[in-house]
Structure 1
Amino acid sequence: MLANRPSRLLWLLAGVAAVAILLSWLFFKADAINARAHQQYERELRLLRQADAELNAAVLANRVGLQTDFDTIVATAAEVLRATHALEQLPDFLPATSLDRLREDIDQLRAVQTEKTRRIELFKRENAVLRNSLAFLPEATNRYIADPQVTLADSRPVGILVRGILTHAHSSNAEFDTALWRQLEALEATLPEMAEARRERLRNLLLHARVIIERKPAVDTLTREILGAPSAALGERVSLHYATAYEHAAATAHNYRLVLYVLALVMAGYVALAMQRLQRASRELARANHDLKERFDTLRRTQEELNLYATVFTNASEGMTITDADARIIAVNPAFTFITGYTLEEVGGQTPAVLGSGRQDEAFYRDMWATLNRDGQWQGEIWNRRRDGEIFPEWLSITAVPNSSGDTPSHYIGIFSDITDRKAAEARIHHLAHHDALTNLPNRTLLQDRLDQAILQSRRRERHAAVLFIDLDRFKPINDTLGHEVGDALLTQVARRCQRAVRETDTVARHGGDEFVVVLPELDNAQDAAVLARKLLAALGEPYRLGEHELTVTASIGIALYPEDGQSASMLLRNADAAMYGAKADGRNAFQFYSAELNTASLGELLLENQLRGALDRDELVLFYQPKVDGRSGQLAGAEALLRWRHPELGLLAPGRFVPAAEESGLIVPIGEWVLRSACRQMRAWLDAGLQPPPVAVNLSAQQLAQQDLVALVHDALSSHRLPAGMLELELTETMLMRDVDHTIEVLARLRAMGVRLAIDDFGSGYSSLAYLKLFEVDVLKIDRSFVNDIRSDGAEGTIAAAVIALAHSLGQQVVAEGVENDYQRDFLARHHCDQFQGYLFGRPEPVADFTRRLHPR
């Protein structure tokens, strides 16, 4: 028997070693997944897909001319290649079978991205050449046409070719392309017969034309190949395969944890069996020594309790800390290490102050220890710091364990849980309750609180506070025309610009719709509010890039000061709102301080609207007529009917004074009908007097186009006054046309069939496209006066006006230039063959009697 003991001992040691090796292997397998590597790899996958999409968008934007350089393409392509290279470093915890498949997918993706990069380089080269020729072609054309030796017959085919090429640059038509080649070759055939100087100009022009016709198909093909590359699909496939591989690895690790758990249960069962054997031995020994039995029973019960406590201590999800009477750590559980990142070796012998974040002051800890010493326990929220430096909130319960005599604690037990997620959810709910969902600015509720605080601070420190009420000018047409998505994007950019303009102590809030409020606490003087208002107007007046649109939107700002303009938040807001409307009344894109007179002015506006309701019945509305002259002969070629209000108290009012009120109240519809019928009645009167009046243009409102049966109204007005339809011209703005394209096309087609002339007013200042311009089939384009104002005496800055003239003529339309006020504007437009001029240079809007004198023969 004694001889067998060494053998049994060896077998026991071997079994223990085998179990230890098995447990170590299972523990390693169960914890094989590296969460940080997984998160990093998923981040690279997202970056690759995002960069690939941005690369396609940059190529397309460069092709259509939204971007003029290749910096974005180069940077994005580099990011794509970097992300693709990063994906080659696969996490080592993935299964081998999945690694092979992922490497194959990544190889394919790298090949596609390399080919795509090669094509992008070709695209950059080809598009640069094409864009260079497109830029120099108009200049070469101008130099050729400016040659005194070039006749109209010589310049006509050149102009037709250039217009065709510029049109071809934005379309895809094989027949048109063939026709351009024939025109180009015909012009090249005339080169030998020309003088040398003229031949060189034409050769340079035709060289650019040939480059454009040759390079455009190649650029379009490269664009389609780049956008059609399967890089996005391959990126999605890599993401899908990686997700599948990760799920498989996670499932495998989970299985190993289950096995580890089962093995632990088996070992626990083995320990329990061993304990039972020990109990039987103890009972046998007890018969020999009763005292020994009692001590052994006590030891056994203590051991069971310790096992239970150890299990609870080890497997609890809450972090646990045990300290001695001096509050020095002697034990921590795994959850403590998981939450804080510290092991027992790192914090053993130290006090829990090693986790201190510094957020609680000494008074907090004094109160905590006082409660703990008085009640024997304490619980509450506390902020601690993890090993990596991150500060986190926890809910902590501390219990004092008394010594054997019960008079002083021998140990302290701390149990805590990480409440980071709960605090984040509470913060998010609080944020949503006090902030605007679109702009993330404070909403009305938080604005009220901030304004109350600003008033209290300013009152306590005897300083000023200011409220700036901001309203965007003409926001509703943008929202109605381009859609709520564009409107929301504009409001988001406005919010960011306002935040960048103010101080950290100021508050920017969204009051509702397109209204924003800025609260300025503790101002030294009122002029500080004016300085910020100017800064805000400048920032908000910068152009906005909204998708494919670039818009310029201004704002009107009203300012109310504490304590001069109000002692409460509601009064300050109300008075700032009134001041804002005063700024709008003064012409918009301005700011105004509140004054008592503004309330009177607002009341005056309301009375003016009420008086406007009876202006038609009292025959107070009149029409003035502004002449249009022929661009070649300078003779009278047309007129525009312009509305005026002879107010009994305020005198003659321009449309800008009362038309906005008419539009808001709905009066614009009957007023617009009156203008149409009055213009037709006046033309009939001129004809009956033996005069020959020119066609008269009448402006239509958006509400007339949307609400009235416009075709029936025009037909009735013409027939009741026995007028030929060609004498009436209807002017519509681009914004009106784009509100309901299908309805607009139908109405315009019926009006054209009737013989009425149609014109687009303020062309170039709205949002229409060339495609819609062709569908609308109007007769006249009116160049917006802002483009005419750009024409200087040296002939510069008239490119947009010249382009509109060329565009209209290529579509078979006439061109009227508005706002012509000096000779060099007229001469520039005449050189570019503008059909008609309108402006103060040729006559201001005139009453009927004065305009009638123009119709008499001289």
Structure 2
Amino acid sequence: MADSREKVKNKNLHYIVFISVFISGMLVSVAPWEVSPLWVFGLLALGSSLYTKKLLSTYYAALDYAKKRIEIDELTGLLSRYQVQQKLTELIAFCQQEDKKLAVMILDLDHFKTINDAFGHELGDKLLVKVSERLTSILPENTVVGYLGGDTFLVLLVQNDDQDVSQLNGLSKDIIHKISQSYFVEGLTLDIGCSIGMALYPEFGLDAVTLIKNADMAVYRAKNSGRATHHFYDSEMGRRFARNVRIETRLRQGLQQESLELHFQPKVDLVTESCVGMEALLRWKDEELGVVSPAEFIPIAEQSGIILPLGDWVFEQAFRHILEWQKQGINVPPIAINCSAAQLKRVDFLPKLLALLDRYKVDPALLEIEVTESILIEDPEGCAELLRQVSRLGITLALDDFGTGYSSLSYLKNLPFDSVKIDQVFIRDIMNDESNAALTNGIIRLSHSLGLKVIAEGITNVEQLALLREYGCDIGQGYLFSKALGPQNMGSDPIVLALNE
């Protein structure tokens, strides 16, 4: 309130001065005694001077307060985002002049959002204060520390001549270990980890913006590597990041321009060698990037959210192709479609699927949905109910890449799967690696005991085929039988022709 009154007085200063001079002039003109104007204006000048001095004092105090707010973060007491970036620019100039190296670290807390969501932002802020205090206490002298906002800190360390990367490795591990120890906040014991990304001057950046960007890329890599670890930026990371950004941009355009295509790889009964199904596989040939492997663009689509419209497109294209083949008189086998965790978690997944079935009048028995174990881990209850609803429609279900994730027998026992797919990493070395052979045999026996069929991916030679037949595997996929076919080749492929005969 006092600040508001002060602002009003300052704003009306010119009115006060004008009225004071005007009234003084009137008093002088009507006074019954003779008064020298010099005295009157002298007194006015003295009053104005005192008032101006007070005004300037208030102004400079406000200026100092604002400057402090800009330079120091009010919550953590560390340098603000603006000030630490300014400090980085100064340190770069110093290191350039003194021929020294500079380590730029971004420290990002792991799962801080979980604490905020569980206990509220007020407690989260208090935890940030504790982390800030601990961080400054464990860093070497002359280290510059700033708070970038959220759960991210910036650490600047000028390296001595005798320091090398191994010492930075040791420091990073020490920081992660000590920051990850428990905190006592508001009667609660909280545990939180951190990841560190680092970029070195001058090797990987000559200015503040580039160094912070590269350190940010490195911390992103650290988080993707399992968190609670550190990573140095390198040139390869920059090239990979630039390519990933380009792939994301071109993929969005390719989806709009329909430059993607579905191909279909036959699934073959290992006893009769007849085609019993097809798996829909995405293929993409871009004008700028050329042929891009699904192994490269699918993870980018999942991280960027493009996987959702891409998944919708795959379903609709598969339905269209089924309808076209049926019009051509082709006996269409069941088509398997891969579903990502993001797709299955959408509340409109089932309504959209029902709408497509109704629009294209496709028999649900012609569809198989393949899911990986990741969705079963993230949301087991919601996923289980959705899969049961899909199964009741008459659509078959396959558990994809079994054995490569956190495999749990409860998935096979409690969920309505019809088949299990053994990942090609087991099949590739099945002839040379006894462990892979034993695991493959074990998966086949276990699945059969639960009434499930087994599909082996990536069969490339007759030796693998013979061993899988010996183990009792039901169905196979791979180049030994056929590569993935374009939709226009369905009517001419020998395996499909045999199916129709």
Q: TM-score range by the shorter chain?
A: 0.5 to 0.7
In structure 2, the CA distance between the partners of 1:817 and 1:563, relative to structure 1 (3 Å rule), is: same
Whether 2:102 is the aligned partner of 1:465: answer yes
In the alignment, the residues of structure 1 paired with residue 269 and residue 354 of structure 2 have an alpha-carbon distance, to the nearest angstrom, of 28
In the alignment, the residues of structure 1 paired with residue 412 and residue 144 of structure 2 have an alpha-carbon distance, to the nearest angstrom, of 41
Give the counterpart of 1:615 among 254, 266, 277.
Answer: 254
* Residue equivalent to 1:817: 456
In the alignment, the residues of structure 2 paired with residue 843 and residue 725 of structure 1 have an alpha-carbon distance, to the nearest angstrom, of 25
* Residue equivalent to 1:773: 412
In the alignment, the residues of structure 2 paired with residue 787 and residue 626 of structure 1 have an alpha-carbon distance, to the nearest angstrom, of 19
In the alignment, the residues of structure 2 paired with residue 516 and residue 784 of structure 1 have an alpha-carbon distance, to the nearest angstrom, of 41
Deviation at 1:814, TM superposition (A): 1.1
3-state SS of paired residue (2:257): coil
Deviation at 1:605, TM superposition (A): 5.2
In the alignment, the residues of structure 2 paired with residue 773 and residue 692 of structure 1 have an alpha-carbon distance, to the nearest angstrom, of 31
Conserved 8 A contact 1:450-1:507: no
Conserved 8 A contact 2:413-2:450: yes
In the alignment, the residues of structure 1 paired with residue 195 and residue 259 of structure 2 have an alpha-carbon distance, to the nearest angstrom, of 31
Conserved 8 A contact 1:584-1:590: no
Conserved 8 A contact 1:556-1:591: no
Conserved 8 A contact 2:268-2:274: yes
* Residue equivalent to 1:733: 372
Post-superposition Cα deviations, 1:728-762, rounded to whole Å, max 9, x if no partner, equal 10011111133333322222112111110101111
Post-superposition Cα deviations, 1:609-659, rounded to whole Å, max 9, x if no partner, equal 455444344222210122222222333232211112332332333334443
* Residue equivalent to 1:828: 467
Post-superposition Cα deviations, 1:674-722, rounded to whole Å, max 9, x if no partner, equal 2112112212322332322321110112222122433333333334333
* Residue equivalent to 1:646: 285
In structure 2, the CA distance between the partners of 1:795 and 1:753, relative to structure 1 (3 Å rule), is: same
* Residue equivalent to 1:856: 497
Give the counterpart of 1:631 among 251, 270, 276.
Answer: 270
Give the counterpart of 1:718 among 357, 369, 388.
Answer: 357
Amino acid at match of 2:422: I
* Residue equivalent to 1:318: none
Post-superposition Cα deviations, 1:536-555, rounded to whole Å, max 9, x if no partner, equal 99xx9xxxxxxxxxxxxxx9
In the alignment, the residues of structure 2 paired with residue 645 and residue 784 of structure 1 have an alpha-carbon distance, to the nearest angstrom, of 23
CA RMSD of superposed structures (Å): 5.2
* Residue equivalent to 2:384: 745
Deviation at 1:461, TM superposition (A): 5.4
Instruction: Pick which of 455-464 and 773-782 moved more.
Output: 455-464
In structure 2, the CA distance between the partners of 1:640 and 1:459, relative to structure 1 (3 Å rule), is: same
In the alignment, the residues of structure 1 paired with residue 491 and residue 195 of structure 2 have an alpha-carbon distance, to the nearest angstrom, of 41
Post-superposition Cα deviations, 1:226-266, rounded to whole Å, max 9, x if no partner, equal xxxxxxxxxxxxxxxxxxxxxxxxxxxxxxxxxxxxxxxxx
Post-superposition Cα deviations, 1:84-126, rounded to whole Å, max 9, x if no partner, equal xxxxxxxxxxxxxxxxxxxxxxxxxxxxxxxxxxxxxxxxxxx
Instruction: Pick which of 556-565 and 733-742 moved more.
Output: 556-565
* Residue equivalent to 1:655: 294
Instruction: Pick which of 836-845 and 723-732 moved more.
Output: 836-845
* Residue equivalent to 1:801: 440
* Residue equivalent to 1:788: 427
Conserved 8 A contact 2:214-2:233: no
Deviation at 1:558, TM superposition (A): 6.9
* Residue equivalent to 1:122: none
Conserved 8 A contact 1:735-1:768: no
In structure 2, the CA distance between the partners of 1:592 and 1:722, relative to structure 1 (3 Å rule), is: same
TM-score using structure 2 length: 0.59
Deviation at 1:598, TM superposition (A): 4.5
In the alignment, the residues of structure 2 paired with residue 649 and residue 715 of structure 1 have an alpha-carbon distance, to the nearest angstrom, of 37
* Residue equivalent to 1:522: 159
Conserved 8 A contact 1:672-1:704: yes
Instruction: Spell out the pairing of 1:251-270 with structure 2 (5 A cutoff).
Output: none
Amino acid at match of 1:843: S
Instruction: Spell out the pairing of 1:193-592 with structure 2 (5 A cutoff).
Output: 462-467=99-104, 521-522=158-159, 529=165, 560-567=199-206, 571-578=210-217
3-state SS of paired residue (1:802): helix
Unaligned ranges ≥5, structure 2: 1-74, 119-134, 177-193, 225-229
In the alignment, the residues of structure 2 paired with residue 620 and residue 783 of structure 1 have an alpha-carbon distance, to the nearest angstrom, of 31
In the alignment, the residues of structure 2 paired with residue 826 and residue 517 of structure 1 have an alpha-carbon distance, to the nearest angstrom, of 56
3-state SS of paired residue (1:744): helix
In structure 2, the CA distance between the partners of 1:530 and 1:677, relative to structure 1 (3 Å rule), is: farther
3-state SS of paired residue (2:263): strand
Deviation at 1:583, TM superposition (A): 11
Percent identity, aligned pairs only, is 37
3-state SS of paired residue (1:645): strand
In structure 2, the CA distance between the partners of 1:684 and 1:570, relative to structure 1 (3 Å rule), is: closer
Amino acid at match of 1:800: L
In structure 2, the CA distance between the partners of 1:704 and 1:525, relative to structure 1 (3 Å rule), is: farther
In the alignment, the residues of structure 2 paired with residue 799 and residue 663 of structure 1 have an alpha-carbon distance, to the nearest angstrom, of 33
Deviation at 1:519, TM superposition (A): 6.8
In the alignment, the residues of structure 2 paired with residue 744 and residue 660 of structure 1 have an alpha-carbon distance, to the nearest angstrom, of 21
In the alignment, the residues of structure 2 paired with residue 468 and residue 844 of structure 1 have an alpha-carbon distance, to the nearest angstrom, of 47
3-state SS of paired residue (1:649): coil
Deviation at 1:579, TM superposition (A): 6.5
Amino acid at match of 1:806: R
Deviation at 1:443, TM superposition (A): 12
3-state SS of paired residue (1:856): helix
Conserved 8 A contact 2:365-2:394: yes
Amino acid at match of 2:485: E
Conserved 8 A contact 1:632-1:830: yes
TM-score using structure 1 length: 0.37
Amino acid at match of 1:676: F
Conserved 8 A contact 1:745-1:776: yes
Conserved 8 A contact 2:218-2:231: no
Amino acid at match of 1:641: A
3-state SS of paired residue (2:404): coil
Deviation at 1:777, TM superposition (A): 1.6
Whether 2:234 is the aligned partner of 1:593: answer yes
Conserved 8 A contact 2:268-2:477: yes
Deviation at 1:580, TM superposition (A): 7.0
3-state SS of paired residue (1:839): coil
* Residue equivalent to 1:63: none
Conserved 8 A contact 1:465-1:521: yes
In structure 2, the CA distance between the partners of 1:843 and 1:556, relative to structure 1 (3 Å rule), is: farther
In the alignment, the residues of structure 2 paired with residue 837 and residue 470 of structure 1 have an alpha-carbon distance, to the nearest angstrom, of 47
* Residue equivalent to 2:323: 684
Conserved 8 A contact 1:520-1:529: no
In structure 2, the CA distance between the partners of 1:580 and 1:771, relative to structure 1 (3 Å rule), is: closer
Amino acid at match of 2:234: F
Conserved 8 A contact 1:763-1:783: yes
Amino acid at match of 1:577: D
Deviation at 1:459, TM superposition (A): 5.3
In structure 2, the CA distance between the partners of 1:445 and 1:673, relative to structure 1 (3 Å rule), is: same
In the alignment, the residues of structure 2 paired with residue 556 and residue 850 of structure 1 have an alpha-carbon distance, to the nearest angstrom, of 50
Instruction: Spell out the pairing of 1:125-164 with structure 2 (5 A cutoff).
Output: none
In the alignment, the residues of structure 1 paired with residue 149 and residue 479 of structure 2 have an alpha-carbon distance, to the nearest angstrom, of 42
Deviation at 1:515, TM superposition (A): 8.2
In structure 2, the CA distance between the partners of 1:449 and 1:433, relative to structure 1 (3 Å rule), is: farther
